[in-house]
Chains A and B, each alone.
Chain A
Amino acid sequence: MESERDLMLDGNAAAGVLQEIFGEEMTTALTTCDECATVSQMAMLRVFSGGPGLVLRCPACEAVMVRIAQTPRGTFVDVRGVRQMRLPLPSIR
Protein backbone atom coordinates (compact mmCIF):
# COMPACT_ATOMS: atom_id res chain seq x y z
CA MET A 1 0.00 0.00 0.00
CA GLU A 2 1.32 3.42 -0.91
CA SER A 3 1.64 6.02 1.76
CA GLU A 4 0.62 9.62 1.46
CA ARG A 5 4.32 10.49 1.28
CA ASP A 6 4.49 8.78 -2.12
CA LEU A 7 1.57 10.82 -3.41
CA MET A 8 2.82 14.13 -2.13
CA LEU A 9 5.74 15.08 -4.31
CA ASP A 10 7.95 18.09 -4.28
CA GLY A 11 6.78 21.01 -6.38
CA ASN A 12 9.69 20.42 -8.74
CA ALA A 13 7.92 17.28 -9.91
CA ALA A 14 5.37 19.53 -11.58
CA ALA A 15 8.06 21.74 -13.12
CA GLY A 16 8.01 20.10 -16.53
CA VAL A 17 4.27 20.35 -16.90
CA LEU A 18 4.25 23.99 -15.76
CA GLN A 19 7.03 24.90 -18.17
CA GLU A 20 5.09 23.26 -21.00
CA ILE A 21 2.01 25.33 -20.15
CA PHE A 22 3.55 28.71 -19.39
CA GLY A 23 6.54 28.47 -21.75
CA GLU A 24 8.80 29.55 -18.89
CA GLU A 25 10.73 27.93 -16.08
CA MET A 26 8.13 28.36 -13.35
CA THR A 27 9.59 26.81 -10.20
CA THR A 28 10.98 30.12 -8.91
CA ALA A 29 7.83 32.10 -9.76
CA LEU A 30 6.09 33.48 -6.68
CA THR A 31 2.46 32.59 -6.16
CA THR A 32 0.01 34.15 -3.72
CA CYS A 33 -2.61 31.80 -2.29
CA ASP A 34 -6.07 33.23 -2.85
CA GLU A 35 -7.27 31.62 0.38
CA CYS A 36 -4.66 32.67 2.94
CA ALA A 37 -2.42 35.11 0.98
CA THR A 38 0.73 33.11 1.73
CA VAL A 39 3.39 33.73 -0.93
CA SER A 40 5.32 30.64 -2.06
CA GLN A 41 7.66 29.72 -4.84
CA MET A 42 5.90 27.28 -7.13
CA ALA A 43 8.49 24.63 -6.25
CA MET A 44 7.25 24.83 -2.64
CA LEU A 45 3.64 24.01 -3.44
CA ARG A 46 2.37 20.59 -2.35
CA VAL A 47 1.85 18.46 -5.43
CA PHE A 48 -0.65 15.62 -5.64
CA SER A 49 -0.19 13.62 -8.81
CA GLY A 50 -0.94 10.19 -10.16
CA GLY A 51 -4.70 10.71 -10.20
CA PRO A 52 -6.76 12.10 -13.07
CA GLY A 53 -4.70 15.31 -12.96
CA LEU A 54 -2.15 17.36 -11.09
CA VAL A 55 -3.18 19.32 -8.00
CA LEU A 56 -0.95 22.00 -6.46
CA ARG A 57 -1.87 23.12 -2.96
CA CYS A 58 -0.76 25.93 -0.70
CA PRO A 59 1.92 24.69 1.72
CA ALA A 60 0.41 26.84 4.50
CA CYS A 61 -3.35 26.22 4.30
CA GLU A 62 -3.58 23.30 1.80
CA ALA A 63 -6.12 25.13 -0.37
CA VAL A 64 -6.11 24.11 -4.03
CA MET A 65 -4.12 26.69 -5.99
CA VAL A 66 -3.60 25.08 -9.41
CA ARG A 67 -5.31 22.13 -11.11
CA ILE A 68 -4.04 20.68 -14.38
CA ALA A 69 -5.55 17.87 -16.43
CA GLN A 70 -3.98 16.73 -19.69
CA THR A 71 -6.65 15.20 -21.91
CA PRO A 72 -6.87 14.19 -25.57
CA ARG A 73 -8.82 17.42 -26.13
CA GLY A 74 -6.26 19.71 -24.61
CA THR A 75 -4.71 20.67 -21.32
CA PHE A 76 -7.13 22.09 -18.76
CA VAL A 77 -5.61 24.58 -16.32
CA ASP A 78 -7.48 26.09 -13.37
CA VAL A 79 -5.60 28.78 -11.44
CA ARG A 80 -8.53 30.16 -9.44
CA GLY A 81 -6.66 29.50 -6.22
CA VAL A 82 -3.78 31.78 -7.23
CA ARG A 83 -4.37 35.45 -6.48
CA GLN A 84 -1.19 36.61 -8.12
CA MET A 85 1.87 35.22 -9.86
CA ARG A 86 5.17 37.02 -10.02
CA LEU A 87 7.73 35.78 -12.51
CA PRO A 88 11.38 36.67 -11.93
CA LEU A 89 13.19 38.85 -14.44
CA PRO A 90 14.73 36.91 -17.35
CA SER A 91 18.28 37.80 -16.21
CA ILE A 92 17.95 36.02 -12.88
CA ARG A 93 15.93 33.04 -14.08
Chain B
Amino acid sequence: MSERFVTRGFVGKRQDAGTAANRIPPGQHLVKDFPVLSAGPTPRTDLRRWSFRIEGLVKEPAQWTWDEFGKLPAQEFVKDISCVTKWTKLDTRWRGVSADVLLEHVELDGRARFVVAFSDGGYTTNLPLPDVINGQAFVAYEYDGKPLAPEHGGPARLVVPHLYFWKSAKWVRGLRLIERDEPGFWESLGYNNHGDPWKEERYSGD
Protein backbone atom coordinates (compact mmCIF):
# COMPACT_ATOMS: atom_id res chain seq x y z
CA MET B 1 0.00 0.00 0.00
CA SER B 2 1.29 3.43 -0.93
CA GLU B 3 2.94 5.68 1.65
CA ARG B 4 0.83 8.67 0.70
CA PHE B 5 -1.89 7.31 2.96
CA VAL B 6 0.25 7.98 6.02
CA THR B 7 -0.80 11.47 6.96
CA ARG B 8 0.06 11.86 10.63
CA GLY B 9 1.03 10.06 13.81
CA PHE B 10 -1.28 7.40 15.07
CA VAL B 11 -3.08 7.21 18.40
CA GLY B 12 -0.26 5.19 19.93
CA LYS B 13 2.11 8.08 19.66
CA ARG B 14 -0.34 10.42 21.32
CA GLN B 15 -0.79 7.99 24.22
CA ASP B 16 2.91 8.05 25.05
CA ALA B 17 2.85 11.72 25.84
CA GLY B 18 1.56 13.40 28.96
CA THR B 19 -1.24 12.79 31.41
CA ALA B 20 -4.76 11.45 31.02
CA ALA B 21 -6.10 15.00 30.61
CA ASN B 22 -4.41 15.58 27.28
CA ARG B 23 -5.62 12.23 26.02
CA ILE B 24 -9.25 13.38 26.20
CA PRO B 25 -10.44 14.97 22.95
CA PRO B 26 -12.27 18.34 23.08
CA GLY B 27 -15.85 18.21 24.39
CA GLN B 28 -15.39 14.71 25.87
CA HIS B 29 -15.43 13.50 29.47
CA LEU B 30 -13.73 10.49 31.01
CA VAL B 31 -15.70 7.37 31.98
CA LYS B 32 -14.55 4.29 33.88
CA ASP B 33 -17.42 2.01 32.85
CA PHE B 34 -18.11 0.89 29.29
CA PRO B 35 -21.48 2.32 28.15
CA VAL B 36 -23.60 0.13 25.87
CA LEU B 37 -25.31 2.00 23.04
CA SER B 38 -27.14 0.21 20.26
CA ALA B 39 -29.40 1.14 17.38
CA GLY B 40 -31.18 -2.17 17.62
CA PRO B 41 -31.54 -5.49 19.39
CA THR B 42 -28.40 -7.50 20.09
CA PRO B 43 -28.07 -10.17 17.41
CA ARG B 44 -27.06 -13.66 18.53
CA THR B 45 -25.31 -15.19 15.59
CA ASP B 46 -24.50 -18.90 15.72
CA LEU B 47 -20.72 -19.09 15.29
CA ARG B 48 -21.20 -22.03 12.91
CA ARG B 49 -23.02 -19.64 10.59
CA TRP B 50 -20.77 -16.62 11.17
CA SER B 51 -18.46 -15.46 8.41
CA PHE B 52 -16.40 -12.41 7.65
CA ARG B 53 -16.17 -11.17 4.10
CA ILE B 54 -14.20 -8.62 2.09
CA GLU B 55 -16.03 -7.70 -1.09
CA GLY B 56 -16.76 -4.92 -3.54
CA LEU B 57 -13.89 -3.44 -5.54
CA VAL B 58 -11.56 -6.42 -5.12
CA LYS B 59 -10.43 -8.91 -7.72
CA GLU B 60 -11.80 -11.87 -5.75
CA PRO B 61 -13.81 -11.53 -2.52
CA ALA B 62 -12.30 -13.16 0.57
CA GLN B 63 -14.33 -14.95 3.21
CA TRP B 64 -13.52 -16.65 6.50
CA THR B 65 -15.53 -18.88 8.79
CA TRP B 66 -15.25 -18.29 12.55
CA ASP B 67 -12.63 -21.05 12.88
CA GLU B 68 -10.64 -19.73 9.94
CA PHE B 69 -10.82 -16.18 11.27
CA GLY B 70 -9.45 -17.34 14.63
CA LYS B 71 -6.38 -18.73 12.90
CA LEU B 72 -5.47 -15.41 11.26
CA PRO B 73 -2.53 -13.55 12.83
CA ALA B 74 -4.02 -11.58 15.73
CA GLN B 75 -2.62 -8.91 18.01
CA GLU B 76 -3.39 -7.32 21.33
CA PHE B 77 -3.82 -3.56 21.28
CA VAL B 78 -4.54 -0.97 23.96
CA LYS B 79 -6.32 2.19 22.79
CA ASP B 80 -8.33 5.15 24.01
CA ILE B 81 -11.85 5.30 22.59
CA SER B 82 -14.27 8.21 22.25
CA CYS B 83 -18.01 8.07 21.61
CA VAL B 84 -19.83 10.97 19.94
CA THR B 85 -22.21 10.95 22.95
CA LYS B 86 -19.19 12.55 24.69
CA TRP B 87 -17.60 9.80 26.75
CA THR B 88 -13.97 8.78 26.42
CA LYS B 89 -12.50 5.62 27.89
CA LEU B 90 -8.74 5.23 28.23
CA ASP B 91 -6.58 2.15 27.79
CA THR B 92 -9.17 -0.28 26.47
CA ARG B 93 -7.52 -3.64 25.80
CA TRP B 94 -8.55 -5.69 22.78
CA ARG B 95 -7.42 -8.64 20.74
CA GLY B 96 -8.20 -9.02 17.08
CA VAL B 97 -7.01 -9.01 13.51
CA SER B 98 -5.68 -5.88 11.86
CA ALA B 99 -7.52 -4.76 8.73
CA ASP B 100 -4.10 -4.79 7.05
CA VAL B 101 -3.92 -8.57 7.56
CA LEU B 102 -7.44 -8.99 6.13
CA LEU B 103 -6.74 -6.78 3.11
CA GLU B 104 -3.60 -8.81 2.32
CA HIS B 105 -5.98 -11.55 1.21
CA VAL B 106 -7.53 -9.51 -1.59
CA GLU B 107 -6.26 -7.63 -4.58
CA LEU B 108 -7.72 -4.13 -4.42
CA ASP B 109 -9.18 -2.53 -7.51
CA GLY B 110 -7.41 0.80 -8.07
CA ARG B 111 -10.75 2.60 -7.83
CA ALA B 112 -11.31 1.54 -4.20
CA ARG B 113 -11.30 4.68 -2.04
CA PHE B 114 -13.83 4.04 0.72
CA VAL B 115 -14.95 1.15 2.91
CA VAL B 116 -18.42 0.31 4.15
CA ALA B 117 -18.44 -1.93 7.20
CA PHE B 118 -21.63 -4.01 7.40
CA SER B 119 -23.05 -5.85 10.39
CA ASP B 120 -25.66 -8.31 11.55
CA GLY B 121 -28.85 -6.34 12.10
CA GLY B 122 -28.26 -4.13 9.07
CA TYR B 123 -25.99 -1.48 10.62
CA THR B 124 -23.45 0.11 8.28
CA THR B 125 -20.73 2.73 8.65
CA ASN B 126 -18.47 4.31 6.06
CA LEU B 127 -14.76 4.99 6.35
CA PRO B 128 -12.14 6.38 3.97
CA LEU B 129 -9.73 3.57 3.02
CA PRO B 130 -6.72 5.55 4.36
CA ASP B 131 -8.34 5.40 7.84
CA VAL B 132 -8.63 1.62 7.70
CA ILE B 133 -5.05 0.70 6.78
CA ASN B 134 -1.65 1.09 8.45
CA GLY B 135 -2.60 -0.42 11.80
CA GLN B 136 -5.55 1.89 12.43
CA ALA B 137 -8.47 -0.57 12.23
CA PHE B 138 -9.09 -4.02 13.65
CA VAL B 139 -11.72 -6.71 13.79
CA ALA B 140 -11.65 -7.49 17.51
CA TYR B 141 -13.04 -10.62 19.19
CA GLU B 142 -11.64 -10.22 22.71
CA TYR B 143 -12.03 -7.39 25.19
CA ASP B 144 -10.02 -7.24 28.41
CA GLY B 145 -8.84 -10.81 27.98
CA LYS B 146 -12.30 -12.32 27.47
CA PRO B 147 -14.41 -13.15 24.42
CA LEU B 148 -16.17 -9.97 23.31
CA ALA B 149 -19.64 -9.86 24.92
CA PRO B 150 -22.65 -9.65 22.57
CA GLU B 151 -23.76 -6.27 23.98
CA HIS B 152 -20.33 -4.87 23.13
CA GLY B 153 -20.49 -6.23 19.59
CA GLY B 154 -19.41 -9.84 20.00
CA PRO B 155 -18.59 -12.20 18.52
CA ALA B 156 -16.56 -9.62 16.60
CA ARG B 157 -16.67 -5.86 16.09
CA LEU B 158 -14.73 -3.33 14.13
CA VAL B 159 -12.44 -1.18 16.29
CA VAL B 160 -11.20 2.04 14.71
CA PRO B 161 -10.00 3.87 17.82
CA HIS B 162 -8.89 7.11 16.15
CA LEU B 163 -12.48 7.86 15.03
CA TYR B 164 -15.70 8.29 17.05
CA PHE B 165 -16.87 4.90 18.20
CA TRP B 166 -20.01 4.72 16.03
CA LYS B 167 -17.50 3.91 13.27
CA SER B 168 -16.42 0.82 15.24
CA ALA B 169 -19.36 -1.24 14.02
CA LYS B 170 -20.59 -3.91 16.42
CA TRP B 171 -21.39 -7.41 15.10
CA VAL B 172 -19.38 -6.67 11.98
CA ARG B 173 -19.58 -9.23 9.19
CA GLY B 174 -17.56 -7.66 6.45
CA LEU B 175 -16.00 -4.76 4.61
CA ARG B 176 -17.10 -3.58 1.18
CA LEU B 177 -14.63 -1.59 -0.90
CA ILE B 178 -16.26 1.19 -2.91
CA GLU B 179 -15.24 4.08 -5.15
CA ARG B 180 -17.58 6.84 -3.93
CA ASP B 181 -18.36 7.50 -0.30
CA GLU B 182 -21.72 6.09 0.85
CA PRO B 183 -22.99 7.46 4.17
CA GLY B 184 -23.81 4.71 6.66
CA PHE B 185 -26.53 4.39 9.31
CA TRP B 186 -25.70 7.54 11.32
CA GLU B 187 -23.75 9.34 8.61
CA SER B 188 -26.92 9.47 6.49
CA LEU B 189 -28.74 11.16 9.40
CA GLY B 190 -26.60 14.23 9.98
CA TYR B 191 -23.46 12.66 11.46
CA ASN B 192 -20.01 13.32 10.07
CA ASN B 193 -18.61 11.15 7.30
CA HIS B 194 -15.15 11.08 8.88
CA GLY B 195 -15.63 11.47 12.66
CA ASP B 196 -12.21 12.46 14.05
CA PRO B 197 -12.70 13.20 17.79
CA TRP B 198 -9.63 15.47 17.90
CA LYS B 199 -11.21 17.70 15.24
CA GLU B 200 -14.69 17.31 16.81
CA GLU B 201 -16.08 16.01 13.54
CA ARG B 202 -19.42 15.09 15.12
CA TYR B 203 -22.00 16.27 12.60
CA SER B 204 -22.02 16.75 8.86
CA GLY B 205 -20.63 20.21 8.21
CA ASP B 206 -18.26 20.14 11.24
Nearest opposing residue in chain B for A50, CB measure = B37
Cβ-defined contact, B84 with A1, below 8 A? no
Cβ-defined contact, B39 with A48, below 8 A? yes
Cβ-defined contact, A1 with B34, below 8 A? yes
Cβ-defined contact, B41 with A62, below 8 A? yes
Contact partner of B39 (CB less than 8 A), chosen from A4, A6, A51, is: A51
B36 contacts the other chain (CB 8 A): yes
Nearest opposing residue in chain A for B149, CB measure = A1
Cβ-defined contact, B186 with A4, below 8 A? no
> Do most interface residues of chain B lie in helix, strand or loop, or is the interface mixed?
loop
Cβ-defined contact, B191 with A69, below 8 A? yes
For chain B, the count of residues having a C-beta within 8 Å of the partner chain is 26
Chain B, 20-46, contact with A by CB distance < 8 Å: what is the 0/1 string?
000000000000011111111110000
Cβ-defined contact, B204 with A52, below 8 A? no
Cβ-defined contact, B40 with A48, below 8 A? yes
Cβ-defined contact, B188 with A78, below 8 A? yes
Q: How far is the CA of A16 from the CA of B40 in the complex (A)?
A: 20
B50 contacts the other chain (CB 8 A): no
For chain A, the count of residues having a C-beta within 8 Å of the partner chain is 26
Cβ-defined contact, A2 with B191, below 8 A? no
Contact partner of B189 (CB less than 8 A), chosen from A1, A62, A78, is: A78
**Nearest CB in chain A: distance from B69 CB, A:** 25
- Asked, given contacts A50-B37, A52-B84, A62-B40, whether A3 binds B151 with beta carbons under 8 Å apart, the answer is yes
Nearest opposing residue in chain B for A68, CB measure = B189
Cβ-defined contact, B36 with A2, below 8 A? yes
**Nearest CB in chain A: distance from B206 CB, A:** 9
Q: Which residues of B contact A (CB under 8 A)?
A: 33-42, 84-85, 122, 149, 151, 166, 185-186, 188-191, 202-205
**What 15 additional pairs, Cβ within 8 angstroms, besides A4-B36, A73-B205?**
A1-B33, A1-B34, A4-B38, A7-B36, A7-B37, A46-B41, A48-B40, A51-B85, A52-B84, A52-B166, A57-B41, A64-B122, A67-B189, A69-B186, A71-B191
